[in-house]
Amino acid sequence: MSTESLILDGLQLARGILLEVEKELDNKPNPDNLYVTYVGALFLRTKDLYSGSIELINFKNTAASKVLLRTLTETYVSLYGCITDRSFADQIMNTYWKQKKKQIDKFKDKQTELGFPFTNEQIEEIKSDIEKTMFPDTSSLRNAEENFRRFNMAPMYHQYYSYLSSYTHTDPYSLDEHVDKIENAYVLIPHKSLNIEALRCLQISMSLFTTAFHNYATFKKYDIRVASVLHEKSESWAKQRLGQHKMK
């Protein structure tokens, strides 16, 4: 099977997985439980990033897909952390509200320029509500690498996150997908290998998403069999299809 056929096969599977997951989701908010609502929001973000990444692969834009996949990887760790460690969820929510307070202060200083639709009194009320929501004895999040290590995911940090970060931050390495030759340098990803990169992106996206759904389904007490089947399909595709090209 050609690499083009493998990509089409993978895209079909990836879209099928997305449809099956959407059938299982219960998107009703939990107004009385901020924790459950936040975990649900994290999974919906995971789903949206996954959907965007596979469509970019479909449009032969693997460079942009890698940017989304880097964010997907980080979101996956946050989702896993929130599900398995409530204190981590509190840290995330605390960081979220602290950032909201900073944003509000910035808008307050420039509200005339930005057309901010609140009076100073309303802004202070919003900040007061935020402070009531925060956990006073909870620290903020640390950097991404420490979060990966916290949940024993150091290999994922090096294999996925660091690799994908080079495309997010426009390292010279990321330019290899856009040019055939860089003066005085070796192109590590020649144009003929872009299909292999597309396959790698599909492998990463499906592995992360199906694992995330398995964790989320357990958390929400869905029928775990559906999540297990989807994950098995993803892993089977990676082993059978990517194995033909000695992909790891």
Residue 140 forms part of a structural domain: no
Residue 124 forms part of a structural domain: no
For residue 6, count CB atoms less than 10 angstroms from its CB and return exposed for 0-12, middle for 13-18, buried for 19 or more: buried
Residue 199 forms part of a structural domain: yes
Residue 138 forms part of a structural domain: no
Residue 126 forms part of a structural domain: no
Q: What is the pTM of this model?
A: 0.81
User: One digit per residue, pLDDT tens: the chain, 248 residues?
Assistant: 678 888 899 999 999 999 999 999 976 666 668 888 889 999 999 999 999 999 999 998 888 999 999 999 999 999 999 999 988 888 887 777 777 777 777 766 665 555 656 677 777 777 676 666 665 555 656 678 888 999 999 999 988 998 898 888 877 667 766 665 555 555 555 555 668 888 999 999 999 999 999 999 999 999 899 999 999 999 999 887 766 655 44
Residue 137 forms part of a structural domain: no
Tell me which residue range forms the domain holding 172: 3-85+151-245
How many domains does one find in the chain? 1
